[in-house]
Amino acid sequence: MGFIFNRKKKVSKDGTKVDVISYGDEERREWTPPAQAGVYLDEIQAHIDKIYPCKEKEPYVYHEIVSDIVHIDVNVIPPEGERDYYVLWTSGMSDLPMDLPDGSRNPKEYNRAELLMYLPGDWELGQVGEDPSQIGQEYYWPIYWIKFLARFPHVYHTWLGTGHTLPNGPEYAPLGEGTKMSGFFFLPPIPLGPAYPGVDNLICKDGTKINFLWAIPMYKEEIEFKLEEGFDAMMELFSEKQFPRVLDPKRENYR
């Protein structure tokens, strides 16, 4: 079981109520094998395939060998045509519902999710079937983090949703080699032009709703700006700076 070592409430300048939660290391617990895996995989795969079709290059998967609580795979859609970027998406996060706060309205609207991230077309992801941890830390960290984030709510009995932020620890350590970004901000994968389609949520055959979240690497100052000024101010800043969907690990710090 994870544990919360600090929890406080604040109100940002736009009036948004913010629940600021700090998470400590996991308590010692036994490894927990997933009770089931790939519950909605076929439906998610079909949904993603319609949005990011591949005609020339084959998508591939970084399979997780040993899984704790949920089995998280990282699926890779390679660049093709006008889509000059990689799409990473998780499968397995939605196998279990996330724990929303007591009293949440319509928790089934938000309690299952999968994550997406967008990498430049020249990002070195190694060969198909290669252990991704061997491709070099400068390139591996997005794969590490998208898996970590997908498992995070199930380890700590919490949830991730639109507008949430998650720093890399209280000291905002860099996410990896080659970047000074130190945390994440989550949004729906909204369209930013014809070459950058959005990803709608998915209603599965059994009525389960799965939300897709764009995991956006951020700088410490940007995360703190969002917490202080609010969601709308963050989105206005994104619009002003023409925030890129595809990851640039060395982009300017907007704050």
User: What are 17-73's pLDDT values in tens digits?
Assistant: 555 555 665 555 678 999 999 999 999 999 999 999 999 999 999 999 999 999 999
DSSP annotation of 247 reads: -
At 205, is the pLDDT very low, low, confident or very high (cuts 50, 70, 90)?
very high
Total-model pTM: 0.91
Q: What is the mean pLDDT of residues 230-253?
A: 94
Question: What residues contact 99, with CB distance under 8 A and at least 6 apart?
Answer: 111, 153, 157, 158, 159
Task: Report pLDDT for 1.
Answer: 29
Question: What residues contact 55, with CB distance under 8 A and at least 6 apart?
Answer: 80, 81
In terms of Cα–Cα distance, which of 74, 72, 183, 172 is closest to 132?
74
Residue 167, pLDDT above cutoff 80: yes
Q: What is the mean pLDDT of residues 149-164?
A: 95
Q: What is the mean pLDDT of residues 77-99?
A: 95
Higher pLDDT, 92 or 195: 92
At 197, is the pLDDT very low, low, confident or very high (cuts 50, 70, 90)?
confident
Alpha-carbon distance values, 139 to 47, 136, 220 (Å): 27, 6, 21
Task: Report pLDDT for 129.
Answer: 65
Task: Report pLDDT for 233.
Answer: 95
Task: Report pLDDT for 136.
Answer: 83
Tokens (6 digits) for 195: 């070459």
Lowest mean pLDDT of 21-30, 54-63, 99-108, 159-168, name the range: 21-30
Task: Report pLDDT for 4.
Answer: 40
Calpha distance 94→107 (Å, rounded): 14
Task: Determine how β-strand 4-11 pairs with β-strand 17-23.
Answer: antiparallel
From the number of C-beta atoms within 10 Å of its C-beta (0-12, 13-18, 19+), residue 33 rates as exposed
Calpha distance 234→255 (Å, rounded): 11
Q: Alpha carbon 251 to chain centroid distance?
A: 19
Task: Report pLDDT for 77.
Answer: 95
Calpha distance 220→87 (Å, rounded): 25
At 224, is the pLDDT very low, low, confident or very high (cuts 50, 70, 90)?
very high
Packing angle, helices 231-241 and 220-229, rounded to 10: 130
Task: Report pLDDT for 196.
Answer: 76
Task: Report pLDDT for 203.
Answer: 97
Alpha-carbon distance values, 28 to 1, 7, 202, 230 (Å): 7, 21, 35, 36
| Digit-coded pLDDT (tens) for 127-151 | 666 677 778 889 999 999 999 999 9
Task: Report pLDDT for 209.
Answer: 98
Task: Report pLDDT for 198.
Answer: 85
